Amino acid sequence: MTNMTLAVPEDLKSMMDKHKEVKWSEVARVALWEHARRLELMDRLVAKSKLTEKDAIEIGRKIKEGVAKRHGW
């Protein structure tokens, strides 16, 4: 297994230090696996897509306009 060093903000480190019973390396490992699995799923979904980046941006713009209209913005 490969080792990894992470930098965390001081306030997060203080919170982590209050909970010495937690295996923080395991928490990080699980979070990294979950994120990597979501990325793999997204890769599989978009691999079959015929949408271009331009198409996706246009769809996003239309969704934002619809949400803004619905909420009276």
pLDDT tens-digit map of 35-60? 999 999 999 988 888 888 899 999 99
Q: Locate the domains of the chain by residue range.
A: 21-70
Task: Find out whether 25 and 6 touch, Cβ atoms under 8 Å.
Answer: no
pTM above 0.85, yes or no: no
Residue 73's pLDDT is what?
A: 85
CB atoms < 10 A from the CB of 30, how many? 11
Q: What does the alpha-carbon distance between residue 70 and residue 41 come to, in Å, rounded to a whole number?
A: 31
Q: Which residues of 42-72 are buried (b: 16+ CB within 10 A; e: fewer)?
A: eeeeeeeeeeeeeeeeeeeeeeeeeeeeeee
